[in-house]
Structure 1
Amino acid sequence: MSNRKPYVREMKRTWWKDHPFYRFYMVREGTVLPLILFTLFITIGLGALVKGPEAWNNWLHFMANPIVIAINIVALAGSLFHAFTYFNMMPQVVPIRVGGKLLDKKIIILSQWAVVAVISLIVLFIV
């Protein structure tokens, strides 16, 4: 048997703070936490809707809490941040060719935002 010890590189809990790329990545991934809470709130609301008017009114009262409103605003910001980063990455991941030429990145990104706006308007009109 050998007396050598294997090299174990020290890994601090804050390793990601040293590089801007990893900081950005961790912030982006951290925005999922308010989105999880938002999803739970909506799921609880659906359950309250099934249980009857009293449960529904209690849920509406819960949703009017300033902390819940703040969480929902942060969740919306996180969702828009995810969409922004995904839409900016999309032309690199899936380059679109029209007539043998690459479509301009700005056109792809703006068309995705246009689709989001149209779908949002349709949902707003329905609700």
Structure 2
Amino acid sequence: MSHRKPYVRTMNRTWWKGHPFYRFYMLREATVLPLIFFTLFLTFGLGSLVKGPVAWQHWLEFMANPVVVAINIVALLGSLFHAQTFFSMMPQVMPIRIKGKTLDTRIIVLAQWVAVAAISLVVLLIV
């Protein structure tokens, strides 16, 4: 049995700051933080809707707070950024071939944005 110590490479907490790819990755993954708050706000809104009109009115007043509005705007921008990076990766991960030719990546990305716009329009019309 060997008594040698295994090599353990030191790693500090900011290892990802040294390379642009990892900084971009961390930024992309950090977009979930405002979305957590947005989801919590909506969950509390559903709870206040169940509790009655007074609780609902308090929640509406809370949602009108400028800090909450700013968090929701950041969450929207983070969602759009996350969607853009996901949509731009899609043609590389799953290329679409029609009659043996690979479909142009711009068409695939544009089709995804059209689908997002169409679904958003349907939701807006329903609500």
With the shorter chain as reference, the TM-score category is: over 0.9
Match of 2:72 in 1: 72
Match of 2:40 in 1: 40
Work out the CA distance in 1 between the residues paired with 2:22 and 2:59. 38
Kindly state the Cα deviation for residue 5 of structure 1 after the two structures are TM-superposed.
2.5
In structure 1, stretches of 5+ residues that fail to align are: none
Match of 2:114 in 1: 114
Q: How many residues align?
A: 127
Kindly state the Cα deviation for residue 3 of structure 1 after the two structures are TM-superposed.
4.8
The amino acid of 2:77's aligned partner reads A
The amino acid of 2:41's aligned partner reads F
1:4 aligns with 2:4: yes
Work out the CA distance in 1 between the residues paired with 2:18 and 2:88. 24
Q: TM-score, normalised by structure 1?
A: 0.96
Q: TM-score, normalised by structure 2?
A: 0.96
Percent identity reads: 74
In structure 2, stretches of 5+ residues that fail to align are: none
Kindly state the Cα deviation for residue 4 of structure 1 after the two structures are TM-superposed.
2.9
Write the mapping of 1:1-127 to structure 2, written as runs, cut at 5 A: 2-127=2-127
Deviations 1:58-104 (Å, cap 9, x if unpaired)? 00011011111111001000100110000000001111111111111
The amino acid of 1:51's aligned partner reads K
Q: Secondary structure at the match of 1:12?
A: coil
Work out the CA distance in 2 between the residues paired with 1:107 and 1:75. 27
